[in-house]
Structure formats: C-alpha cells, structure tokens
Structure 1
Amino acid sequence: MNCGIAIFPSKQVQDAANSYRKRYDPHYNFIQPHLTIREKEEWDEMRLGSAVDRLEVVTRGIAPFEIEFNRFSSFYPVNNVIYLALSDTTNMENLHNAICKDELAETGKTYSYNPHLTIGQQIGDDELHDVLSSLKKNPVDFRSRVDRVHLLYQTENGAWTVYQTFLLRG
C-alpha cells in the first residue's frame, strides 16, 4: 500500500487553503491540506510496522512548535505548483530530518526538502503566472501549532486517510 507522513495545519489554515485548492488542485478531493514530511511510497506490512516503531521513538523526543505561513510562492520553473510558504522552515526541516533517517531514510530524491502547503498544481504556465501574481497581492498571516504527525495510507479510490497519529511529546 502507498504510505506517507504528513502534518495537518489548523482548521483556519485548512479552510483558507481549501478556498484555493477547490479550483487549482486536482487532489482536493483526495487529501486535506497538509505539509508532507515523507513522500508516498509503496510499503508492505513489515515496513509499515517499522515506520510505526520509528515514529513512536522520534515523536517522543520532539516538542510541539508553531509554524507561520507568510506568503504565496511557486516551484516554477521546476514544477507548476503554487503553495503557501513558511516564514521559517527550521522546525519543519528538523522534524523531517529526525523522521526521514535510518529505516525511513528517503533515497534517490532529486530535490531538497521544502516544507509547504500546496494550493495549486498541474496548472499551465500562463494560468500559474496569472494566479500567482493575483495571490501575491493578498497578505498572508496564518499560524498553526504542530503537535502531531500522521502516518497516512492511500485507499483504493486514491483518497488518503490516517493510519495512525503520533503526538509530539518532547
């Protein structure tokens, strides 16, 4: 089964993101707004159990923290994705680095980890530039507390659902 690891921001952030995702993100119906910690990967039951064990250990040593979204940005020209960006990515990067090593190490990645909340993807170049220039006129100031990590799996219809939640207890 496909599994991944993510955090879900506050309802306020999710509602704001969904107001854009409805129109610009074809994955809107399959997963709620989130920040990916570990990309999806095909896992068997043994690998899933190993991930649960790893997440139990890691989350015991990490304290909850705050994140702040402060702007719209894009991965263009590498990828036509529009996202809500964080003012400081340090805590999310530390969480990612703590989780994604040893048995959960990600191999073969062609890009650096950049925590973000996608609000649009699979958009043509012209539309991306139009939408992004319009969005950048809007002030962004959303805060969210990160106090849990979710291990997700993908259902047969393509939707993502929580397999297990791990509280940050450091």
Structure 2
Amino acid sequence: MIGVAIPIPDPHGALLQRKRASFGDPLAGAIPTHITLLPPTEVDAAALGAVEAHLRAIARTERPFRIRLRGSGTFRPVSPVVFVALAEGIGGCERLQARVLSGPLDRPLDYPYHPHVTIAHHLPDEVMDRAFKDLAGYAADFDVWGFSLYVHGGDGVWRPQHDYVFGSGSAAP
C-alpha cells in the first residue's frame, strides 16, 4: 500500500500532528502531516519501478509553489473529517494531483479532490467541533519543494520512502 503526498514542513507539520493527537485521533502518530496527492493505493511490487519513474518524471518538470494554510474546514456530514484549509496553492496541488493520478497510478477517487490537511478523523462530534474551533484561526505559509512517496507498514504507520524534488526529478531515500 502506497500514498503520495506533500509533507507539511516543521514547525508546522509537528505542531499540527501534536494538535491531531491532542484531539485523541488514534491515527495521529501513524500518519505524518501532509496534503494527499494519491490516497492509499495498493500497488503490485513488480510495478513499483514504473511508479517511481512516473513520479521522477513529474517532479522533473514541476517548480516550487507557495502554500498558505488558513483556518479550519470540514467535510461533515459527507465524511467525518475536520481539516486545515488551503487559502493559496490549491491550483498547484490540483495540477500535481492530476499528474500523479495518471499513467501507472491512474485510478478513480471516492470523492472529488480537495487539497487539505486532516486534523481530526472519525471522532465524536463534540471533539470534531472542538478541533474545528481550535484551528479556526490557524495560519502558516511555506514553499512546496516537491512531494514524497509513502509506504504503509505492517504496523499501520505511513513512512516516507522517497522524496521527489521539483526541477530535478531526484528521488532521495
């Protein structure tokens, strides 16, 4: 099982992960703070080389762009998720996501793509309400340098395997 995402750099990523843990989200320690480009996807081990070549080709032709996180949002009642919203960088994420979900990673999605940073998932309504209110004034800005390939371990933890740096296509473990 793999995923592709834009990692949220520290100190923002670490702060949002601590916030997620403070709401009692059991996945807080298993999922690094990120903006999803490819949701959890099963890939045959024999196809991994083609997937990595695909991701290198995408990174080679992309350029850094700015992300501005502002406030909170939710997908409730459709999906039990509270998130930090993007105020800038949505177009860059959408372009990147469309490119990632092509070629060897072409697959249908359960929901239309909406870039966000999850901070609470499948928790009681009162906790979701608290998360929404607690991060309503949140703000952070950073430049996206590239994206990462993550692998879901047997222990349930998502771990970055390779970083794909924009402009170079390099994949660093």
TM-score with structure 2 setting the length:
0.89
**Aligned 8 A contact 2:119 2:131 in 1:** no
Taking CA–CA contacts closer than 8 Å with sequence separation of 6 or more, which of the two structures ends up with the larger relative contact order? 1
Structure 1 residues 49 and 75 mapped into 2: Cα distance closer, same or farther (>3 Å)?
Answer: same
Distance in 2 (alpha carbons) for counterparts of 1:5 and 1:131 = 25
Distance in 2 (alpha carbons) for counterparts of 1:131 and 1:4 = 25
SS state at 1:11 partner: coil
Distance in 2 (alpha carbons) for counterparts of 1:79 and 1:4 = 20
SS state at 1:87 partner: strand
Query: For residue 117 of structure 1, what is the aligned residue in structure 2?
Result: 117
Distance in 1 (alpha carbons) for counterparts of 2:156 and 2:110 = 25
Once the 2 structures are TM-superposed, how far is the Cα of residue 160 of structure 1 from its aligned partner?
1.2
Query: For residue 144 of structure 1, what is the aligned residue in structure 2?
Result: 142
Query: For residue 17 of structure 2, what is the aligned residue in structure 1?
Result: 18
Once the 2 structures are TM-superposed, how far is the Cα of residue 82 of structure 1 from its aligned partner?
0.9
**Aligned 8 A contact 1:35 1:115 in 2:** yes
Query: For residue 76 of structure 1, what is the aligned residue in structure 2?
Result: 76
TM-score with structure 1 setting the length:
0.90
Structure 1 residues 130 and 165 mapped into 2: Cα distance closer, same or farther (>3 Å)?
Answer: closer
Query: For residue 171 of structure 2, what is the aligned residue in structure 1?
Result: none
Identity %: 23
**Aligned 8 A contact 1:70 1:86 in 2:** yes
The one-letter code sitting in structure 2 at the alignment partner of 1:67 is I
Alignment map for 1:100-115 (pairs within 5 Å): 100-107=101-108, 109-115=109-115
Distance in 2 (alpha carbons) for counterparts of 1:39 and 1:48 = 16
Distance in 2 (alpha carbons) for counterparts of 1:5 and 1:44 = 16
Once the 2 structures are TM-superposed, how far is the Cα of residue 133 of structure 1 from its aligned partner?
3.3
Q: Which runs of 5+ in 1 are unaligned?
A: none
Distance in 2 (alpha carbons) for counterparts of 1:101 and 1:16 = 33
Query: For residue 6 of structure 1, what is the aligned residue in structure 2?
Result: 5
Once the 2 structures are TM-superposed, how far is the Cα of residue 81 of structure 1 from its aligned partner?
0.9
Query: For residue 44 of structure 2, what is the aligned residue in structure 1?
Result: 44
Distance in 1 (alpha carbons) for counterparts of 2:164 and 2:73 = 29
Distance in 1 (alpha carbons) for counterparts of 2:148 and 2:18 = 23
Structure 1 residues 162 and 134 mapped into 2: Cα distance closer, same or farther (>3 Å)?
Answer: closer
State the number of aligned residues. 166
Q: Which runs of 5+ in 2 are unaligned?
A: 169-173
Q: Does 1:34 align with 2:23?
A: no
Give runs of ≥4 in structure 1 deviating > 6 Å.
none
**Aligned 8 A contact 1:30 1:158 in 2:** yes
Q: Does 1:94 align with 2:95?
A: yes
User: Which of residues 144, 148, 163 is equivalent to 1:165?
Assistant: 163
Distance in 1 (alpha carbons) for counterparts of 2:131 and 2:160 = 31
Distance in 2 (alpha carbons) for counterparts of 1:20 and 1:134 = 9
